[in-house]
Chain A
Amino acid sequence: MSRRSLRSWLPVLTAALVAAPIATAHAQVWRTVTASRQRASADSLRLRVYFGAGTFNLEAAAEPLLYDVDMRYDAGRVRPMHRYDAATGTLTIRSDSAIGHPFSLNLKRGGLNFNGPGDDRNGTDLTVALARGIPLDLSLSLGACDATLDLANLSVRRLHLESGASQTTLTFGTPNPVAMSSLDLDIGAAGLTVNALGNAHASAVNVSAGVGGAELDLGGTWSGTMNLVVRAALGGVTLHIPQDVGVEARVAKTLGGLDAPDLTERDGTYYSSNWGTATRKVVIDATATLAGLEITRD
Chain B
Amino acid sequence: MPTRRPVYTRAAILAAALAVAASATDLAAQAKHSPARALSLGDSIAAVVDSLRHDPNGIAIERSAVQTGAQTVAPGTTVNGSIASWHGPLDVRGTVTGNAVALGGDIVVHTGGTVRGDAVALGGHVQLDGGTVQGEMRSLSALTVGPLARTAPRTPAQATKRSLSLSVGWYLVLSVIGLFAALFARGNLETVAERIRDDFSRSFLYGVVGQIALLPALVVGIVALCITVIGILLIPFAIVGFVLGGAGALALGFLAMSYVTGEAAMRWRGAVSPYTPPPVVQFLFIGLSLYFVLWMIGGLLSWAGWFGAVLRLIAAMVTWVAVTVGFGAALVSRGGTRAPGGRVPPPQAPPPLSDASWQTPTPVSGVAAARRPTPPPRSVQH
- Rounded to whole angstroms, the CA-CA distance of A25 and B20 in the bound complex is 12
A75 with B57: CB separation less than 8 A: no
Shortest A82–chain B CB gap in Å is 6
| Segment touching B, from A5-13, A159-167, A175-183 | A5-13
Q: Is A31 engaged at the interface, CB distance under 8 Å to the other chain? A: yes
* Interface-centre pick from A29, A36, A78, A291 (highest chain B CB count, 10 A): A29
The chain A residue sitting closest to B19, CB to CB, is: A19
Residues in A neighbouring B27, C-beta threshold 8 A: 22, 25, 27
With A23-B172, A29-B34, A33-B57 as contacts: A110 and B139 at CB distance below 8 Å: no
Residues in A neighbouring B37, C-beta threshold 8 A: 29
Q: Is B176 engaged at the interface, CB distance under 8 Å to the other chain? A: yes
Residues in A neighbouring B57, C-beta threshold 8 A: 33, 35, 71, 80-82
With A15-B16, A76-B34 as contacts: A112 and B134 at CB distance below 8 Å: no
Q: Is B264 engaged at the interface, CB distance under 8 Å to the other chain? A: no
* Interface-centre pick from A19, A79, A82 (highest chain B CB count, 10 A): A19
Q: Is B270 engaged at the interface, CB distance under 8 Å to the other chain? A: no
Residues in A neighbouring B16, C-beta threshold 8 A: 11-12, 15-16, 19
With A9-B285, A18-B20, A35-B136 as contacts: A291 and B232 at CB distance below 8 Å: yes
The chain B residue sitting closest to A71, CB to CB, is: B57
B30 with A27: CB separation less than 8 A: yes
A110 with B229: CB separation less than 8 A: no
Q: Is A109 engaged at the interface, CB distance under 8 Å to the other chain? A: yes
With A19-B23, A22-B27, A81-B56 as contacts: A31 and B149 at CB distance below 8 Å: no
Beta-carbon contacts of B1-35 to A below 8 Å, as 1s and 0s? 00001100100110011011001101100110011
B13 with A31: CB separation less than 8 A: no
* Interface-centre pick from B30, B134, B173 (highest chain A CB count, 10 A): B30
B229 with A23: CB separation less than 8 A: no
Q: How many A-B residue pairs have CB under 8 A?
A: 171
A12 with B148: CB separation less than 8 A: no
- Rounded to whole angstroms, the CA-CA distance of A144 and B17 in the bound complex is 36
Q: Is B166 engaged at the interface, CB distance under 8 Å to the other chain? A: yes
Residues in B neighbouring A264, C-beta threshold 8 A: none
Q: Is A118 engaged at the interface, CB distance under 8 Å to the other chain? A: no
A residues 1-52 near B (Cβ < 8 Å) are 1, 5-6, 8-9, 11-13, 15-20, 22-27, 29, 31-38, 40
- Chain A residues with a Cβ closer than 8 Å to the other chain, count: 57
| Segment touching A, from B77-85, B275-283, B374-382 | B275-283
Residues in B neighbouring A8, C-beta threshold 8 A: 5-6, 9
B229 with A75: CB separation less than 8 A: no
Q: Is A236 engaged at the interface, CB distance under 8 Å to the other chain? A: yes
Shortest B118–chain A CB gap in Å is 9
B56 with A1: CB separation less than 8 A: no
- Rounded to whole angstroms, the CA-CA distance of A257 and B233 in the bound complex is 11
B138 with A1: CB separation less than 8 A: no
A residues 230-248 near B (Cβ < 8 Å) are 234, 236
Beta-carbon contacts of B247-291 to A below 8 Å, as 1s and 0s? 000000000000000000000000000000001111001000000
B232 with A109: CB separation less than 8 A: no
With A27-B34, A35-B57, A79-B56 as contacts: A22 and B134 at CB distance below 8 Å: no
B140 with A77: CB separation less than 8 A: no
A1 with B182: CB separation less than 8 A: yes
B169 with A11: CB separation less than 8 A: no
B132 with A79: CB separation less than 8 A: no
B26 with A31: CB separation less than 8 A: no
Q: Is A290 engaged at the interface, CB distance under 8 Å to the other chain? A: yes
Q: Is B302 engaged at the interface, CB distance under 8 Å to the other chain? A: no
B229 with A255: CB separation less than 8 A: yes
* Interface-centre pick from B223, B232, B285 (highest chain A CB count, 10 A): B232
Q: Is A84 engaged at the interface, CB distance under 8 Å to the other chain? A: yes
15 contacts between A and B (CB under 8 A): A1-B279, A13-B179, A15-B17, A16-B172, A20-B172, A22-B27, A24-B169, A32-B139, A33-B140, A76-B35, A76-B149, A111-B165, A257-B232, A292-B229, A292-B233
4 nearest interchain CB pairs? A110-B165, A81-B56, A75-B36, A15-B16
Residues on B lying within 8 angstroms of A by beta carbon are 5-6, 9, 12-13, 16-17, 19-20, 23-24, 26-27, 30-31, 34-37, 56-57, 132-142, 144, 148-150, 161-162, 165-166, 168-170, 172-173, 175-176, 179, 182-183, 222-223, 226-227, 229, 232-233, 235-236, 279-282, 285
